[in-house]
Amino acid sequence: MHAPAYRAPGSADATGEPVDRVDERDRVVGVVDRGQAIREGWLHRVATVVCHDRAGRILVHRRPADVSRFPGRYNWLIGGAVNAGESYEDAAARELAEELGVRAAVRPAVRFLCRGAISPYWLGVHEAVIEDDVVPDPAEIAWHTWLPAPALREAMRQWDFVPDCREAFAKYTALS
List the one residue out of 83, 84, 68, 86 whose CA is nearest residue 140: 68
Q: Is the pLDDT of residue 55 over 90?
A: yes
Query: How far apart are the C-alpha atoms of 27 and 159, rounded to whole Å?
Result: 35
pTM of the model: 0.89
Bridge pairing between strands 45-52 and 121-129: parallel
What are the extents of the domains in the chain? 18-174
For residue 10, pLDDT over 50 is answered with no
Average pLDDT over residues 7-13: 40
87 or 4: which leads in pLDDT: 87
Q: Give the pLDDT confidence of 90-137 residue by residue, as tens digits.
A: 999 999 999 999 999 999 999 999 999 999 999 999 999 999 999 999
Percent of the chain whose pLDDT exceeds 90? 89
**Whole-angstrom distance between the N-terminal and C-terminal Cα of the chain?**
47
Find the mean pLDDT for residues 22-34: 98
- pLDDT bucket at 11, cuts 50 / 70 / 90: very low
- CATH (residue range 18-174): 3.90.79.10
Exposure pattern of 138-147 as b/e (b: 16+ CB <10 Å)?
Answer: eebbbebebe
SS3 assignment, position 166: helix
CA atoms within 13 A of residue 101's CA, in its CB half-sphere: 10
Q: Which residues contact 46 (CB under 8 A, 6 or more apart)?
A: 79, 80, 81, 82, 114, 121, 122, 123, 124
Q: What is the pLDDT of residue 40?
A: 97
Residue 157 has φ and ψ, to the nearest 5°, of -80, -30
DSSP structural state of residue 110: E
Q: What is the pLDDT, as a whole number, of residue 5? A: 34
pLDDT number for residue 39: 96
Give me the pLDDT at residue 16, please.
85
